[in-house]
Structure 1
Amino acid sequence: MARITVLGGTGYAGAAVVAEAAARGHQVTSVSRSEPATRIEGVDYVIGSALDADILDAVLPGRDVIYSALAPRGEMAGKLEGVVDVLISRLAGTPTRLGYTGGASSLHTEEGGPTLWEVSKDHLPAEVKPEVETGITVYAALQASPESLDWFYVSPPAEFGSWLDTPDKGSYVLGGDVLLKDSDGNSTISAADLAIAVVDEIETPTHHRARFTAIH
């Protein structure tokens, strides 16, 4: 049984990780500013902000994994990078792993090719760009972090979000630094199935100081 703290544990990606980890019998703490729609038995729900040092003091020590599913919007807009810097500083040199749900934009469109960000940034709406840039900045910060920090960064596929109503399949296809697409050219996965990949990584660590992606 792993002791896992999920920051942003009531959001689209975070709630799925909380549910999957709890279903597998792990000790899970969810941190969020809002109450969950439905509480899961056995999960410790901490209501508060990851910007609050006292909250972090309560939920970081003694954990096997800290998993951030925080979204860089609302109160986290322009501040999530700082939260990650704090996590890097506090977890480096400890046995605790740091996981992070980022975005697809840092994935390469093909092996050795440009990133999705490089080919799409001129066409993205201005209001979306700060969120994308946060994911890229955090990935770079993790890459530059002390070698004593064991981290993994999860890039969802190009089409990922609650508004898509993507059905669950109970399986996933794993990838690395290149954007994956299925035989029909789709790049998508549900939160529940991405959570399976995340908890699989927690249970059987494979990506050390590395990124992975997953699609249906």
Structure 2
Amino acid sequence: MSHRYFVTGTDTEIGKTTIAAGLLHAARRRGLSTAAVKPIAAGCLRSAEGLRNDDALTLQAECAPSLDYDLLNPVALEPPIAPHIAAREAGLQLTAAQLAGDCRRVFARGADLTLVEGAGGWRVPLNGEQTLAALAIELKLPVILVVGLRLGCINHALLTAEAIAADGLRLAGWVANQVDPHMERQQSNLDSLRALMKAPLLGVVPRLDPLSAAGVADHLELDSLLGATGGLSGLR
């Protein structure tokens, strides 16, 4: 059984890749096969093999069986700027349909759990008309939302959840990720989020030192995603 999800966040730099890698690692602990797609990545470094993105490499390390980089990250852009601007400067015209085709090539491998990680938040532009949300819509994927715990996170989380629902997709679960160690009243904010978010909480991830996918996996649960008896959510 194949389970597929789109991973988005309340903003950029709130740990989408960290959480996605942790989810993949947790699935591997169950003996499941895993795959990931980072359809478009800006902020890539030049290497002997071509442009490489640290986030995509982190996901690649949690794919079992192994996945070629060019399948995992079909559009690699060098400048660390908004993806649609980086693509335009590179002379590329990106569409949700095109990126969906790239994702389906990975889906065809039939991994037990496949995660598609977006860039930035839910409404990050893809081109002059579409946002990356159009990719999740094209693929009809349920969504996992990474909530960066910092001042303003309740508003950001609720607005993102509303946008996901307005786009006709299901919020399959959310993860609270501690990005601001100095956040005041963190527990009170968490309590409010638990009360207001209409989806399962998959875990609360503290700041970890050292940071590792295995360490993140320790704070996550997959039962509501995969189902205790073989998958209830995201089944395709």
TM-score, length-scaled by structure 1:
0.49
Question: What TM-score, normalized by structure 2, do the two folds share?
Answer: 0.46
Q: Which has the higher strand share?
A: 2
Which of 1 and 2 has higher RCO (CA within 8 Å, sep 6+)?
2
